[in-house]
Amino acid sequence: MAKPEFQYLQVSEKEGEEAIELPIEEDGTLLLTTLVGQYPGTTGLKYRNPTTKTIRGIRLVDGRLQPPEDGWGDTIYYCSFSKDNKRKLDDVPENSPTKTRRVESKRKCTDLIVLGLPYRFNDENLRKYFEEFGEVLIAQMKQDPKTGQSKGFGFIHFSSYEVQERVLEMQHLIDGRWCNVKIPDSKMYTKENKGYSDGERKGRCSDLIVLGLPYKFNDEDLREYFEEFGDVTSAQTKTDKKTGQSKGFGFVRFSSYEAQKRVLAMRHMIGGRWCNVKIPHSRM
C-alpha cells in the first residue's frame, strides 16, 4: 500500500473539541495502541459523513484502524467507546465531572450564536440549514440597523436539548464557510433573562470593559463604534495620567440591557483589531 497522503491524523475525544495529531503508520493505518495512548478507554474511531451528516465507523483489523475508501483526508475523527464503559458511568460519584455532564442533559435549551455566516444569508437560510438536525424554534440573522446589511452572525434556538448538544459538538460548514456555533459567552444571555421587565433590564446594565483597543482611539471613536448596537450612556478610553497616551482599553455602558447582552454575545473587530468585551470583575 502506498504511503498515506497525510502523515498525521486529526483526532478529538468528541466532535467540537480540540484535536490532537496522531502519527499514521507507513501502510496508511493508525495503530489502536497509538489512539489508546492519547485517549484511554477508546475502542475505535468514527466520523460524520460530510454529505449525509450520518455517523460512520472506522474498520479495525488486527489492532490497526483502516482508512476509509477515499483515504483519511483532512477530516477530524473522534473516539468511540464501548457500551460497557458507558454503563460504568452509573457508578461514578455524584460530584464528579462525568456525572455532572449526565445531569446537565436535563437542562433546558438556550439561544445559540452562529458566527461566521455568509453575509447573503437571511433568517430562512439559517433555519433551513439547522432544521436538518431538529426542530428550530428561532432562527434570526442580525442586521445593521442603519444599512439593513447582515452582520455575519445570527441566533438559533432548538426545541430539543439533545439536538442542541449534538449541534454544539459538531463542526459546521455552511455554504462553504466554517462557522462557529456556541452558547454566547455572557452568562446573562440565557432564556431566563428574557423574563425581566424593561426596568429590571436597565437596572442590570453595567460598565463593560473593552480590551485590545487601537491606541489611537479616543472616547468619541469608542462611542461611535458601539452606538451601532444601541444607546450609549458613557464611553471612556483609559489614558496614562502622566503621558496622556491611551492604555489600549476603555469602558462603555448602554441604557438598554438588550443592547448590552447583544454586544457581550459577539466578537468585535474595532479599528482592525479583535477586541474582547466583557463585564469586568472590578472597575479598573
d(CA 128, CA 132): 7
Long-range contacts at 184-188 (CB < 8 A, ≥ 24 apart): 184/111, 184/112, 184/113, 184/261, 184/264, 184/265, 184/266, 185/264, 185/265, 185/278, 186/261, 186/264, 186/265, 186/278, 186/279, 188/260, 188/261, 188/264
d(CA 237, CA 225): 13
φ, ψ for residue 254, nearest 5 deg: -105, 160
SS3 (DSSP) at 75: coil
Cα 28 vs. chain centroid, distance in angstroms? Answer: 32
Domain ranges of the chain: 8-85, 112-182, 195-278
Per-residue confidence in pLDDT tens, the chain, 284 aa: 444 445 888 998 888 788 888 888 888 899 888 888 778 778 889 998 888 878 889 998 888 899 998 889 888 998 987 655 544 445 545 554 444 444 443 457 778 889 889 888 999 999 999 999 999 888 888 888 778 888 888 889 898 888 988 898 888 889 888 888 888 754 434 333 333 334 333 446 788 999 889 888 999 999 999 988 888 899 999 988 888 888 889 999 988 887 888 888 777 888 888 888 888 764 44
Class of residue 181 by CB neighbours under 10 A (exposed 0-12, middle 13-18, buried 19+): buried
CATH superfamily membership of 112-182 = RRM (RNA recognition motif) domain (3.30.70.330)
Q: What is the CATH number of domain 195-278?
A: 3.30.70.330
d(CA 26, CA 3): 5
The cell for 220 is: 468619541
Question: Could you check whether 112-182 and 195-278 share the same CATH topology?
Answer: yes
Quick one: DSSP state of residue 51?
A: T
User: Which positions ≥6 away from 12 have C-beta within 8 Å?
Assistant: 18, 19, 20, 76, 77, 78, 79
Residues constituting the chain: 284
* Cα–Cα nearest to 123, from 158, 150, 160, 161: 150
Looking at the chain, list the stretches that DSSP marks H as alpha helix, in order from N- to C-terminal side.
32-38, 83-87, 97-103, 123-130, 161-169, 198-203, 219-226, 257-264
d(CA 247, CA 238): 6
Q: To which H or E segment does residue 20 belong?
A: strand 20-23
What is the per-residue pLDDT for 236? Answer: 92
What is the per-residue pLDDT for 65? Answer: 92
